[in-house]
Amino acid sequence: MQNRASRTAEQVALFRALETARGHDRVFDDPLAVRFLHGGYRVLARAARVRPVGLRLSRFIDRRWPGPRPSAVARTRLIDDLVGEALAHGARQVLLLGAGYDSRAYRLPGIDRAAVFEADHPATQAVKRRLVRGAVRPERRRHVHYVPVDLLREDLGDALLAAGFAALEPTVVVWEGVTNYLSEPAVDATLRRLASLTATGSSLIFTYVDRRVLDGSLDAGNWPAAVRRAGEPWTFGFDPATLPAYVAARGLRLALDMSTRDAAVRYLEPLGRDENAATFYRVARAEIQ
Ligand SMILES: C[S@@+](CC[C@H](N)C(=O)[O-])C[C@H]1O[C@@H](n2cnc3c(N)ncnc32)[C@H](O)[C@@H]1O
């Protein structure tokens, strides 16, 4: 992964583009997602604008790779809502950590009143920046600051402060789809750095996989094999039972821990959508104490 843009980030963008193409029963609208796609993915996302084609495509993906698409869709909507709540409660900075092709900086209402920092591995960020320059007018991206950082090798705090991140400001951090690609020391160091860098009451929203998936004691179907083939194997997970104590030891209080399956029950089921999101893929929110 180190020398090329993240393949899994592009896959998530494909899932968001397919969701956006659904029309009336979509759970978010991410018009930029298709702009981040290359080659075959872009062709698929364009074809999906014809609704029956899009629905068939999603069903095909879900049969072939059960879990990732609806899990990404449900987590995206849940995190959109959590970021919206944090902004409504006074967050003045947004940190998208491992931002990939997340387009929240350009699509969430009111987010442009905050300073948005997109931190990501340099290889993915370089591609994202180029694509955003071609798709978003300069006045719509003035609030966005890019921070290239390899969380396995560099200090996040130094990189953020050098980019103008204000220490101890009320902040909402989104760390979506990333912890599972890191190491325990990198996750530990990142949590401690975020706790010391942001104001009390700031929110850290993060996703994780149940660590029993990593040793095979919890079945995750062919999803782990698919990310391995993409060159981005899962290397880290949390135990949901010990997560509250783990974050408490790092100065955070766990306020939410929800499976993407439960997020799908909340957002997809009321629209008559029965799509199988994973119980082992989870969204958490912690508050800085
Ligand atoms: C599955 S993508 C998720 C992207 C985005 N957060 C989203 O949900 O759309 C994983 C992201 O983690 C980032 N990542 C993986 N390892 C990293 C590292 N060592 N340092 C910084 N970012 C990393 C990748 O660059 C990629 O953007």
7-44 confidence digits (pLDDT tens): 999 999 999 999 999 999 999 999 999 999 999 999 99
Are 41 and 21 a contacting pair, CB within 8 Å?
no
Q: What is the pLDDT confidence band of residue 3, given thresholds at 50, 70 and 90?
A: confident
Centre of ligand 1 from the C-alpha of residue 269, in Å: 29
CA distance 272 to 270: 5
- The proportion of the chain whose per-residue pLDDT surpasses 90, expressed as a percent, equals 99
Mean pLDDT across 127-138: 97
CA distance 281 to 235: 14
Domain definitions of the chain by residue range: 66-288
Taking the complete model, does pTM exceed 0.75, yes or no? yes
CA distance 40 to 5: 16
Which residue from 4, 121, 160, 234 has its CB within 8 A of the most atoms of ligand 1, so it is best to mutate?
Answer: 121
pLDDT at 177: 98
Ligand 1 atom showing the smallest separation from residue 75 Cα = 8
| Protein residue with least CA distance to atom 4, ligand 1 | 100
| Protein residue with least CA distance to atom 11, ligand 1 | 98
CA distance 208 to 284: 8
What are the angstrom distances between the C-alpha of 130 and each of 123, 204, 231, 280?
Answer: 12, 28, 23, 34
| Protein residue with least CA distance to atom 13, ligand 1 | 98
Ligand 1 atom showing the smallest separation from residue 153 Cα = 19
Closest CA to 131 of 37, 247, 42, 224: 37
| Protein residue with least CA distance to atom 25, ligand 1 | 121
| Protein residue with least CA distance to atom 27, ligand 1 | 100
Are 79 and 69 a contacting pair, CB within 8 Å?
no
Ligand 1 atom showing the smallest separation from residue 96 Cα = 6
Q: What is the DSSP letter of 166?
A: P
Mean pLDDT across 145-169: 97
* Binding-site residues, ligand 1, Cβ < 6 A: 6, 8-9, 12, 98-102, 120-121, 124, 149-152, 176-178, 181
pLDDT at 1: 52
CA distance 20 to 279: 24
Instruction: Specify whether domain 66-288 bears CATH 3.30.300.90.
Output: no
Q: Is the dihedral of CA 1, 83, 138, 162 positive or negative?
A: negative
Q: What is the DSSP letter of 65?
A: S
Tokens of 2: 């180190």
